[in-house]
Structures are given as structure tokens and as C-alpha cells.
Amino acid sequence: MHWSGAVAACLAATALASFAPRSLRAQAAVREPVVWRFVGEAAASVGGTWLEGSRAPTVRSKPGFLFGVGLQRGWTEFVAAGATLRGGIQPLEIRENGDSWSGGTLTEANFVATLSLQSRQRRTNRVSLDLSGGAAVLSGANDILPFHDAASLAPLAEVGIAIRRGATNADASRRDLALFVRYSTLKVQSEYVNAVTTTGWVGRIVAGLRVSR
């Protein structure tokens, strides 16, 4: 990862645009109890270039599935934090010199902690910005790079958005449904004696449905 000046500027601009103080009306104080919720999610994952090079195959994921369960605690009406354990599979495709062939199936388990920042309520739908960090365990597809000799634990970071409908963080008696989409990126490190490999980040788009109660 290259933390160049451009990246720093990008992050600063994003922070300024997204988290600058709003009007006093928007920051009106409310009082709500704190609740725990069970969370279940089902999602499809798309994309993911695991390896590319000028003189090597490109290893990509085909669409796959992820399922997860977790716990979430509503700290305030607008802030929740939780942890989720997920498992999923993604078929892999290898391309080189105009040919393509199967790379088998990648099996993944990951564990993430998530901070969910919810927007002001508008009618019954609310929007939340989800920031997650954790680690993924990748297995299967061990006869292909970068999974051959790869580190077993890959750091994982995610940013996503969800449109929620139903209960607020403070209301434990109602089910909360959310459609979400997130950008998930994990760091892959592999060394192989007969192919020069470099460490890098693999990004995927994950979209699905989350239910909490």
C-alpha cells in the first residue's frame, strides 16, 4: 500500500465532506436505551482480482456467496457497533494468453468488527455508513497462486452503506431489515519460489440482505 500525498488528500477530503458538523437542528439530542441485537446476513460477492501481472495469469473471482451471523450493540440511536462471523465461497477463474480455466473454489471465513453510523431518520428508511475491520482465513485453491503458500490470515477492511427499514437501534422488540452494499478489501501475501509475487490488496463488492433483532 502506498500512502502517498494523494491518498492522504483523498481521505481528508472524504472526511471533510462527510463528517463536517451539521446544523443544530440535525444534532438535536434524543434519549434512547441501549440494546443488543442478533444479526444475520446473506450476500453475494462480486469481483476480486487476486493476482495479475504482465507475464503471468490473472486470477479472478467469479460471483460467490457469503453468509454471516453476529451481534450488534446500539450505543446510541445513531451509532451501533458489533461483530460478525462470515463464511463463503467464490469460484476462481484463471486467464492467460487468451485461455481461461478454472482455479477451483476459494473458501473463506472472516471475522469483522463493525462500526455503524446511522443517518437521521427519514420516514421509515434510514441510511447507515458501516466501517469494518477484521481478518479473513482463505483456504482451498491451494494449487494456485496467491493461495499457494499464502499467509493463512489476511487483514480485512470494509466500508459499506445500508438502507435500513424497521426498528431503530434502541428498539429491541422489532426486526430490522437492511439492504447493504460494501467494498471489502483484504491483504494477500504470498511467496513462491518459481514465480515472483508481490503483496497486495484484493477488493470485492458485496451486496445483500441483513436482518437483525
Partner 1 sequence: MNTNRIRTLRAPFGSRRAVAALVGLIACALVACDTPTATRPTFAYDPTTLSNGMLYRWANGQQLHVWADLADSTRAVNLGQSVRTAIARWNDLPAFAEFELVIVSNPADAQIIIYDRARPMPVRAGSCAFEPRAAVGYTYFCATGGNAERLALASGAPSRASVVIRVDDTLVAGQSRYDAIVAHELGHALGIGAHSSVAGDLMFGLPTTSFPTGRDAQTLQYVLGAPADIIL
Could you say which residues in the range 122-161 bind partner 1, by CB under 8 A?
122, 126-129, 131, 141, 143-146, 148, 157, 159-161
Per the listing, cell 467469479 goes with 62
Residue 26 touching partner 1 (CB under 8 A): yes
x/- mask, partner 1, residues 38-67, rule CB under 8 A, reads -----------xxxxxxxxx-x--------
Residue 175 touching partner 1 (CB under 8 A): no
| Least distance to partner 1, CB of residue 127, Å | 4
Residue 185 touching partner 1 (CB under 8 A): yes
| Least distance to partner 1, CB of residue 81, Å | 13
| Least distance to partner 1, CB of residue 149, Å | 10
Alpha-carbon Rg for the chain, nearest whole angstrom, is 20
**Total number of residues shown for the chain:** 213
Q: What are residue 10's phi and psi, to 5 degrees?
A: -60, -45
What's the grid cell of residue 145?
497462486
Q: Cis bond leading into 21, ω under 30°?
A: no
Pick 49 or 152: Cβ nearer partner 1:
49
Sign of CA dihedral 39, 42, 47, 52: positive
State the number of CA atoms in the 13 A half-sphere of 122 facing the CB.
Answer: 8
Residue 5 touching partner 1 (CB under 8 A): no
Candidates 10, 42, 113, 209; binder of partner 1 (CB under 8 A) is: 10
Residue 193 touching partner 1 (CB under 8 A): yes
Distance CA 175, CA 173 (A): 7
